[in-house]
């Protein structure tokens, strides 16, 4: 029997926000509208970095089809839309003059949301770093903090009167560690000094932007972090220690900086020699007060010691649970863990949102329909954990599904389909999947 979405609005607090999320580079089309080149364009133009060399130059052509896409959000019954502005579109050189065509596009988009009764949730940085800034060292260069604050002010000056919430960053772990230590994302570095600098400078840039936005009188400012549930792959002390360190790098570093004015000691053991000079002096800025925390959650990882003596000496082990098409195990309990843990150990009464949750499926369009049963089951199981967390006292204010559309899944290209809506990348035709129809039923109830 086909799965159905089991919960509806009545199962959540009255003011609870349901939304869906996307990001600029993954859907807009970076070749349109005077957008500057970003480090994702150059990363993808380098052989071997992305699947089949695919990039976001056309993506979902959302730049031209935004009205149709907003209709899909409204018609599903979502309250809010989490979108990002592209730094490279707004400031093609990364500093100096703004691209008016780019700002006009975001004006139309935000007005389009308001006309449809959709609440705009802005993210300022979802990875499209202007290429000229990458040439200057990108997140390795301390100067980027001031430039990011300038960019934040440009965007907020134009859109700030109409948005309901603004996040500085999406997923600092991906910006810093995945991209500068593991080398999977732009700029594709595998260098501990580069990674340590990026781990610190993203947080410094976050704090500088928060201060700049406060100074303009902006409100409801937050930051979005992604967490992965790290479990020891076996009972050995070595695996337990490896899982703990993985958790520190992934989950405790960024929360520690923003909410405790400190980095976790176990991670400093490895990173401190590589951090920029006087890093300890930046916590007044890094810990500038925010109004909310966004949590992105997808999966857990089984972790073991990698048998080497080179820090961090951790490795992932394949787990036994059901997987999605990106081979991520489905582990809904991890979402409950992070919601309750973040509140207990870091955020207290601060509102929390689940800003991303969802999955990539082996979705096939057959006779005009996509039966994405696995996604419906995934959403049910995670929504149940959301509800549990609320029952346990977490001040959880909303839940956003990643993603509205099938889109550019970074180095994995266009094969990995996370959307509630199927996109045919030849014709750009949008086809709502069964999960979209199921959610429409649940959200209207
Ligand atoms: O597609 C990404 C998104 O850009 C950031 N969060 C995770 C998603 C799925 O990998």
Provide the CATH number for the domain around residue 275: 3.20.20.80
Residue 3 counted as domain residue = no
Q: Which atom of ligand 1 is nearest to the CA of 170?
A: 5
Nearest to 404 by CA among 90, 71, 8, 3: 71
Which ranges of 348-433 does DSSP label H, i.e. alpha helix? 373-391
C-alpha dist (Å) from residue 299 to 329, 380, 382: 6, 15, 11
Q: Is 228 in the pocket of ligand 1 (CB under 6 A)?
A: no
Tokens of 367: 């006779």
1 in a structural domain: no
Å from CA of 409 to ligand 1 middle: 7
Query: Best of 21, 22, 23, 359 to mutate for ligand 1, by most ligand atoms within 8 A of CB?
Result: 23
Asked if omega into 76 is within 30° of 0 (cis), the reply is no
Is 356 one of the annotated active-site residues of the chain? yes
Among 334, 341, 343, 338, smallest CA distance to 395 is for: 343
CB 420 within 8 A of CB 75: no
22 lines ligand 1 (CB under 6 A): no
pLDDT at 340: 98
DSSP calls for 251-304: IIHHHHHHHHSS--HHHHHHHGGGSPTTGGGGHHHHT---SEEEEEEEEEEEEE
Nearest to 177 by CA among 153, 159, 194, 160: 194
**Does any ligand 1 atom lie closer than 6 A to the CB of residue 171?**
yes
Q: Residue 445's pLDDT is what?
A: 65
Q: Which domain holds residue 363?
A: 9-443
Q: Is the CB of 123 under 6 A from ligand 1?
A: no
49 lies in some domain: yes
Q: How far is the CA of 70 from the centre of ligand 1 (A)?
A: 20
Centre of ligand 1 to C-alpha 130, Å, is 19
| Structural domain includes residue 4 | no
Check residue 196 and give its pLDDT.
Answer: 99
Ligand 1 atom with least separation from CA of 358? 9
Taking the centre of ligand 1 as the mean of its atom positions, its distance from the CA of residue 22, in whole angstroms, is 9
Closest C-alpha residue for ligand 1 atom 4: 23
Atom of ligand 1 at shortest range from CA of 410? 1
387 domain residue, yes or no: yes
For the Cβ of 296 lying below 6 angstroms from any atom of ligand 1, the answer is yes
* Helix (H/G/I), strand (E/B), else coil: 398: strand
Q: Determine which one of 28, 54, 171, 409 is catalytic.
A: 171
% helix / strand / coil in the chain, to the nearest 5? 45, 20, 40
Peptide bond into 312 cis (omega under 30): yes
Cα 171 to averaged position of ligand 1 atoms, centre (Å) = 9
Residue 328, ligand 1, Cβ within 6 A:
no
Q: What whole-number distance in Å separates Cα of residue 156 and Cα of residue 154?
A: 6
Q: Which atom of ligand 1 is nearest to the CA of 360?
A: 9
The response to whether residue 356 sits with its C-beta less than 6 Å from ligand 1 reads: yes
Give first-to-last CA distance, the chain, whole Å. 22
Query: Which residue, by CA, sits nearest to atom 9 of ligand 1?
Result: 409
What is the distance in A from the centroid of ligand 1 to the CA of 125? Answer: 13
Q: How many domains does the chain have?
A: 1
What is the number of the ligand 1 atom nearest to the C-alpha of 418? Answer: 9
Ligand 1: atom nearest CA of 126 is: 4
- Which pair of tokens denotes residue 342? 């973040």
Q: Is the CB of 414 within 6 Å of ligand 1?
A: no
Active site residue 171: yes
Please give the chain's pLDDT, 445 residues, in tens: 799 999 999 999 999 999 999 999 999 999 999 999 999 999 999 999 999 999 999 999 999 999 999 999 999 999 999 999 999 999 999 999 999 999 999 999 999 999 999 999 999 999 999 999 999 999 999 999 999 999 999 999 999 999 999 999 999 999 999 999 999 999 999 999 999 999 999 999 999 999 999 999 999 999 999 999 999 999 999 999 999 999 999 999 999 999 999 999 999 999 999 999 999 999 999 999 999 999 999 999 999 999 999 999 999 999 999 999 999 999 999 999 999 999 999 999 999 999 999 999 999 999 999 999 999 999 999 999 999 999 999 999 999 999 999 999 999 999 999 999 999 999 999 999 999 999 999 999 6
Q: What per-residue confidence (pLDDT) applies to 1?
A: 78
Whether 251 is in the pocket of ligand 1, judged by its Cβ within 6 Å, is: no
Residue 400 Cα to ligand 1 midpoint, Å, equals: 12
Rounded CA gap, 435 and 377, in Å? Answer: 9
Per-residue tokens: 382 = 């995670």
Annotated catalytic residue, options 28, 54, 228, 356: 356
Token output for 304: 């073991």
Q: Is 409 in the pocket of ligand 1 (CB under 6 A)?
A: yes
Residue 244, classified by CB atoms within 10 Å of its CB into exposed (0-12), middle (13-18) or buried (19+), is middle
The DSSP letter of residue 421 is E
Distance between CA atoms of residues 114 and 72, nearest Å: 14
């Amino acid at each position: 029997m086909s799965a159905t979405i089991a919960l509806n609005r009545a199962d959540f607090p009255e003011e609870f926000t349901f939304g869906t999320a996307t990001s600029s580079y993954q859907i807009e089309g970076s070749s349109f509208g005077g957008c500057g080149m970003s480090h994702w364009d150059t990363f993808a133009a380098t052989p071997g970095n992305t699947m089949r060399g695919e990039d976001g130059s056309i993506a979902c052509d959302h730049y031209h089809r935004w009205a149709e896409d907003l209709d899909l959000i409204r018609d599903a019954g979502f309250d809010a839309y989490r979108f990002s502005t592209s730094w490279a579109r707004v400031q093609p050189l990364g500093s100096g003059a703004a691209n008016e065509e780019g700002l006009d596009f975001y004006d139309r988009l935000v007005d389009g949301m308001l006309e449809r009764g959709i609440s705009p949730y802005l993210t300022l940085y979802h990875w499209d770093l202007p290429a000229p800034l990458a040439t200057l060292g990108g997140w390795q260069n301390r100067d980027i903090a001031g430039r990011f604050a300038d960019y934040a002010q440009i965007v907020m000056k134009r859109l700030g009167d109409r948005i309901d919430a603004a996040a500085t960053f999406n997923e600092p772990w991906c910006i810093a560690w995945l991209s500068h230590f593991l080398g999977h994302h732009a700029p594709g570095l595998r260098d501990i000094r580069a990674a340590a600098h990026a781990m610190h400078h993203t947080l410094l840039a976050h704090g500088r932007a928060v201060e700049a936005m406060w100074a303009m009188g902006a409100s409801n400012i937050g930051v979005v972090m992604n967490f992965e549930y790290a479990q020891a792959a076996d009972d050995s002390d070595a695996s337990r220690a490896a899982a703990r360190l993985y958790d520190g790098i992934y989950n405790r570093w960024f929360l520690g900086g923003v909410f405790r004015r400190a980095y976790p000691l176990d991670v400093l053991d490895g990173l401190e020699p590589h951090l920029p000079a006087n890093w300890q002096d930046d916590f007044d800025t890094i810990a500038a007060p925010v109004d909310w925390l966004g949590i992105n959650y997808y999966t857990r990882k089984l972790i073991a010691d990698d048998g080497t003596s080179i820090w961090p000496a951790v490795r992932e082990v394949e787990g036994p649970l059901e997987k999605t098409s990106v081979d991520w195990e489905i582990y809904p309990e991890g979402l409950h863990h992070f919601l309750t843990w973040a509140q207990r150990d870091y955020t207290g009464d601060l509102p929390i949102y689940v800003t991303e949750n969802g999955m990539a499926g082996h979705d096939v369009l057959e006779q005009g329909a996509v039966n994405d049963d696995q996604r419906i089951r995934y959403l049910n199981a995670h929504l149940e954990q959301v509800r549990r967390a609320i029952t346990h006292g977490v001040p959880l204010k909303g839940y956003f599904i990643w993603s509205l559309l099938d889109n550019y899944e970074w180095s994995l290209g266009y094969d990995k389909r996370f959307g509630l809506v199927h996109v045919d990348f030849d014709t750009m035709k949008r086809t709502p999947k069964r999960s979209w129809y199921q959610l429409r039923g649940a959200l209207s109830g």
